[in-house]
Chains A and B, each alone.
Chain A
Amino acid sequence: MSAVASGNGKGNGHGHGGAPATLTKADFQSDQETRWCPGCGDYAVLSAVQQFMPELGIPPEKIVFITGIGCAGRFAYYMNTYGMHGIHGRAPALATGLASTREDLSIWIVTGDGDSLSIGGNHLIHALRRNVPIKILLFNNQIYGLTKGQASPTSELGKVTKSTPFGVADHPFNPVSLALGAEAAFVARTIDRDRRHLTEALRAAATNEGAALVEIYQNCPVFNDGAFSALTEKDTKDANQIRLEAGKPIRFGVENERGVARGADGGLAIVDVADVGEDALIVHDPSRPDPGLAFSLARLADNPTVPTPIGIFRQVQRPVYGRSSLVRESPATDVELSDLLLGADSWTVA
């Protein structure tokens, strides 16, 4: 991808401009040495984000990265923007306080599956339903990495981990369907290894005015290697990536021979196009006001070892949190303060 893509026709949603046209990836790289394990998917995402940032046209000092705890939490230190490495699960709360008082900033959250879906689950769903203007990058590796290999809320049933020697018994979350259930206005899913798709998801999230959640399948080579190999390896990915594209029938497969259509029971089903004909396929429309179809798409795969949709599930406009004309930004003037302190029923003692 070109670092200075333009002409997507949507603007950046922030209306800053004014940044030097010469911003490059290097402007967004901090001087801190990256310290993830060799082969960690986080490197690819970091590089993609740094590469994408100049496109925003926003100077680095107007951008803030807020992170939680976990491997993904280190992300903030590597971005040459303002950054806060917060506490476990609380990044959406910190970001809500910042976003609702500083409309001029572009605020990004980097979080993991444990951080956002376990200890921080409450903050995540409320940030989404409020439509706080923040972009949430949820690195899902289906494992706790920093604490060395315990099951996470997205670990598949039966998975043997250090904390589940007899297999995971807790039913996992599906982050996209959770976000849709939490009234999210923008939800996408992408993959660490697919730089182009990942960048497009970032771009779409950035142009969305309110809260955006981007689930990124991210490989943990140490504790959960190959969790997404069905979607990332050369010999399997074409058969398993269901790439959602607005306005197009949902088709996939090595020969583009499969698709998604309504089944006999009214739910969505994977079909052979040859059997049903292209007209029977669902035409993807993320702007649909009713999230029902997006929800069904999100739940097409229980686990990304089978054909799994990636792309933008939902992209609708809702009122953005904190943009109320009822609130005046500037504090009380001396006269206003004086009136306020006096109140309605004061008396004077001579």
Chain B
Amino acid sequence: MTKTVEERERVVIRFAGDSGDGMQLAGSRFTDATALIGNDLATLPNFPAEIRAPAGTLAGVSAFQIHFASRDILTPGDKPNVLVAMNPAALKANLAELDRGATLIVNEDAFNKRNFEKAGYSSNPLEDGSLSGYRVHRIPMTSLTVAAVEGIEGASTRDAGRAKNLFALGVLSWLYGRPTDVTKRWIEQKFARNPGALQANLAAFNAGWSFGETTELLDVQYKVKPATDVPAGTYRNVNGTTALSLGLIAASARSGLSLLLASYPITPASELLHELSRHTNLGVKTIQAEDEIAAAGMALGAAFGGRLGVTATSGPGMDLKAETIGLAAALELPMIVVDVQRAGPSTGMPTKTEQSDLLMAVHGRHGESPLPVIAPSTPGGCFEAAFEAVQIAVRYRTPVILLSDTFLASSSEPWRVPAVADLPSIDPAFAVAAEGEEFMPYTRDDRLARPWAIPGTPGLAHRIGGLEKADVTGNISYDGANHARMTELRAAKIDGIADEIPPLTVDIDRDPARPTRLLVLGWGSSEGPIRAGVRRAREAGHTVACAHLHHLNPFPANTGDVLRSFDRVLVPEMNTGQLAQLLRAKYLVDVESFCKVQGQPLFASEIEEQIAERQ
């Protein structure tokens, strides 16, 4: 039969199922196919902290959302247009986030009494009229998959049961005209050593596609044209973890400093350890340390030896690393500390995102120990942030904290791959002995950075430590005036970084007839929703400016001027107002907070509402 093809500018699909249903896999395969078409896209996985929560329960629901469009998009989407629900729990957990009229594609086979009980349904939602406001497609995915796999040599019943995610992927791939060869190629590689599973998964995927093509249940196929407003270049799909790893490796290559990552397993930062551990052939060494403290110590030990020392963790691990970061600040050695923020306090919600470590990053050490804090704002931006963190650490001989978060780490987007030649080189500028001069480890250059004199260099043997050091000589000093001077020098060095970072740029419509009075200022991973919300508000006729901070300490030099040039400043954050507090303290500007601490990213619609309220 011939089916209608309708065009859509943008679509948000959420794959949801039990955490054992393979939804992350289905979502990421759909993503790769979507990237190849040339749609702009953004994704957001959302999974429970438990590896295997009881099957069929709300606690065990795992979801993967993808937003793709024919124009540039900024977020993984607030509300799905399409929900794929593999069981009743997945439906129940996600339905509230859908607008009426949205499309539901459900695995009818899983809608049975037992699963209703587990999900807390007293009646079958497919039958009781509660879904009457939605377009519901009921597909018996389990039984169709089993039928498709039946008779394949070497494929077990278990293989058949597990392949239903590929069936769902096949249906969605047909529905949105995704290319199939990239998915099939992936299946062939993934299951190369298990022919039974390979054939089962291929059969399930093909069956899903054919089902879409032939069944009368689905009467419309949708088309989303390639995005045309993206700059020319070579692209790949990356999440924040991959981009951050690539940024560190690139900085290692461009500085000639081999890389040591020392980490202790912690969600969600472990992914960085996994990723970098794969690249030992590129001068990358990784250590799974005995604890968070040791991980920081190892990174600092490597830095002392003239290597690129990196440690990565999430909230609770930052608490433990504070002592070592303080030592690094006193030793004035380059070191990178990555904090993939998650919802706290304490263990909090390990798989949920938050921006609540900002004050800790800026202030969370004893004594006066200022250090630079950098926050990427997009998954791809993690590359630049990592590279820049290394540039600053090396140039200023200081530990740098890079504040990522769960959202950035796991969400993905197309990323324009930089040409290696365009990446600046980073000069470690190791100290060498000067003839006839005694080496002084705490002399300073124009940036107030001290020499990086690494063991093995003749003539520079010296001792440094956590005790206060005399200016210039680095000898132990308990002199009060010297301590005051050293405290000022350490602070002035970090403050001076503001002279070399880009100014805060403001996105504003300069229309003399309609002066813009409101600035929306964000930081970190909320850039997408903020820019999307601002765009929508402008489309609705509002005047509003926005700006985004990537440097949280020091702030760009023009930050105060920017803040003071607007009547009102709105600061949306996924915490209870931490950036707002820093801005108020430093600039005495009466900024207004919009706070959200639900473990979820900000929504563009929320930003739009906040802007509208302030017109």
Contact = CB atoms under 8 A, between A and B. Distances in A.
Interface residues of A, number: 66
Interface in B398-427: 417-421
Contacts of B295: 93
B123 interface: no
B230 A349 contact: yes
Given A98-B304, A123-B297, A350-B232, A77 B463 contact: yes
Interface of A: 30, 32, 59-67, 69, 73, 76-77, 79-87, 90, 92-102, 104-105, 122-123, 125-126, 322, 324, 326-334, 336-338, 340-343, 345-350
Contact count band on B: 35 or more
Contact of A84 (B235, B255, B460, B463): B463
B287 A61 contact: no
A66 B296 CA distance: 15
5 contacts: A77-B476, A90-B297, A331-B258, A341-B250, A341-B420
Contacts, number: 222
A94 B232 contact: no
A98 B305 contact: yes
Contacts of B284: 327
Given A73-B465, A336-B282, 11 more contacts: A60-B461, A83-B461, A97-B298, A97-B305, A101-B260, A101-B301, A122-B294, A332-B252, A333-B253, A342-B417, A347-B36
A337 B249 CA distance: 8
B235 A105 contact: no
B246 interface: yes
Given A105-B305, A337-B253, A345 B237 contact: yes
B235 A347 contact: yes
A214 to B, nearest CB: 21
A144 to B, nearest CB: 18
B457 interface: yes
Given A61-B455, A342-B234, A349-B231, A329 B298 contact: no
Contact of A345 (B230, B236, B457): B236
Interface in B135-158: none
A22 to B, nearest CB: 15
A330 B283 contact: yes
A90 B256 contact: no
A239 to B, nearest CB: 41
B465 A349 contact: no
Interface stretch (B170-178, B323-331, B481-489): B323-331
A32 B222 CA distance: 78
A contact face: mostly helix, strand, loop, or mixed: mixed
A329 B258 CA distance: 7
B282 A105 contact: no
Interface string B242-275: 0000100110110111111010000000000000
Nearest to A98: B301
Contacts of A330: 258, 283
A340 B301 contact: no
B309 interface: yes
Contacts of A61: 455-461
Interface string B292-315: 011111111111111101000000
B308 to A, nearest CB: 8
A74 to B, nearest CB: 9
B564 interface: no
Nearest to A31: B475
B297 A347 contact: no
A123 B303 CA distance: 19
Contact of A101 (B35, B246, B258, B460): B258
B101 interface: no
Contacts of A62: 455-456
B290 interface: yes
A32 to B, nearest CB: 7
A86 B297 contact: yes
B217 interface: no
Nearest to B262: A97
B466 A85 contact: yes
Contact of B463 (A59, A85, A343): A85
Given A100-B287, A336-B282, A340-B249, A83 B234 contact: no
Nearest to B255: A331
A321 B512 CA distance: 68
Given A62-B455, A93-B297, A100-B285, A332 B323 contact: no
A32 B461 CA distance: 13
Nearest to A336: B282
Nearest to A85: B465
Given A61-B461, A122-B290, A347-B36, A94 B455 contact: no
B290 A123 contact: yes
Contacts of B420: 334, 337-338, 341
B462 interface: yes
Given A90-B293, A347-B35, A328 B283 contact: yes
Interface in B462-482: 462-467, 475-476
Contacts of A341: 246, 250, 417-418, 420
Contacts of B262: 97
Nearest to A83: B463
Contacts of A98: 301-302, 304-305, 455
B236 A126 contact: no
B129 interface: no
